Amino acid sequence: MNKRASLGWTVIGALAALLLAAMWVAPLLWAMSTALRPEHETVSAVFHWLPQEWTLDAFAKVLAAGNVGRWLFNSALVALLVTVVTMALSLMAAFAFSQLRFRGRTLVFALTMLAFLVPFEALLVPLFRMMNQLGLINSYAGIVLPQVVAPVVIYVFKQFFDAIPADFREAAVMDGAGPLRILWSVYLPVSGNIVWAMAIVTFIGAWNNFLWPFIIVTSNDMMTIPLGLTQTYDAFGVRYAQLMAAALLGALPVALAYVVFQRRVTHGFLAATGLKG
């Protein structure tokens, strides 16, 4: 391919990427713009990309009224608990499936992967009944527990562990380490990047989860931020600036976390795919 044709394709590719990026980021920019303008501007007949009058009034009102602070705390706690418990359980399960030999191992692994095929929505009623029987409605445990089973995370970890040379485990066995010690001292440090990647993805998923908290929580004080936003809508009516402000406040912690840990996520996914990057 000659240089001119190559340059042409590069320009086309760049323009396409810019277009896709613009489509992706446009709603976010619009939300930010809406949150930074006075309420009356949000229903103006004249369209402006940028606020005519810049103000933080919407943010102030959201933080003063409603229960946003509590909802943020709930989201953070739930997401953190889901992440920690999911990682712990998934790592142990993946290690068992990958490195331990026990009767029925293949069957149990197959059943675990089959669970991946069942949509969460199909489990809503039985899970709700179970949490109700356990007295966990409107509790952190009730919100967290059904979210900690993640077959896809187990699968990713198992594949990664399978690729780690067995010599490491055998050397640790010769050194006197038991299975948990081998997982903690050898496999976990070696798998650092992929664990970070799965943890961040799990955290974001738990933070943004609306459906299960919507089912299990009825108390305003126990709501997470995605659930709380619907209350905000009801409380404020059609207050678009405050609605966007609340949505941005809810998304901000996760966005910041991703920015901070972005490199670990990238390295983790590269490690999972085997690419050097």
> Is residue 71 a contact partner of residue 225, using CB atoms and an 8 Å limit?
yes
Q: Does 162 bind other proteins (CB under 8 A)?
A: no
Task: By CB under 8 A, tell whether 184 contacts other proteins.
Answer: no
- Number of residues binding to other proteins, judged by CB under 8 A: 17
Tell which one of 1, 46, 174, 259 touches other proteins (CB under 8 A): 174
- The residue from 177, 251, 257, 270 that contacts other proteins (CB under 8 A) is 177
Told to check if 56 binds other proteins by CB under 8 A, we report no
Residue closer to other proteins (CB basis): 121 or 167: 167
The residue from 88, 170, 211, 230 that contacts other proteins (CB under 8 A) is: 170
Task: Name the nearest CA neighbour of 114 among 142, 147, 155.
Answer: 155
- Given 48, 129, 181, 263, the residue binding other proteins (CB under 8 A): 181
> Tokens 């706690």 correspond to what residue?
77
- Amino acid letter, 1: M
Part of the chain binding other proteins (CB under 8 A), chosen from 21-29, 109-117, 135-143, 161-169? 161-169
Which residue's CB is nearer to other proteins, number 7 or number 171? Answer: 171
How far apart are alpha carbons 31 and 166 in whole angstroms?
51
Is position 230 an interface residue for other proteins (rule: CB under 8 A)? no
Q: Which of 186, 251, 257, 270 binds other proteins (CB under 8 A)?
A: 186
What 8-state DSSP symbol labels residue 147? G
In the chain, the amino acid numbered 58 is A
240 near 42, Cβ under 8 Å? Answer: yes
The angle, 0 to 180 degrees and rounded to 10, between the axes of the packed helices 225-236 and 68-99 is: 150
Q: How far is the CB of 101 from other proteins (least distance, A)?
A: 10
Region from 25-33, 148-156, 186-194, 252-260 binding other proteins, contact rule CB under 8 A: 186-194
> Do residues 245 and 35 make contact, with C-beta atoms less than 8 angstroms apart?
yes
Q: CA 264, CA 260: separation in Å to the nearest integer? A: 9
Backbone angles phi, psi at 177, to 5 degrees: -85, 140
121: contact with other proteins by CB under 8 A = no
For residue 94, give every residue at least 6 positions away whose Cβ sits within 8 Å of its Cβ, in sequence order, or none.
Answer: 154, 155, 156, 157, 158, 160, 161
In the complex, the smallest distance separating the C-beta of residue 91 from other proteins, rounded to whole angstroms, is 16
**Binding-site ranges for other proteins (CB under 8 A):** 165, 167-168, 170-177, 181, 185-186, 189-190, 192
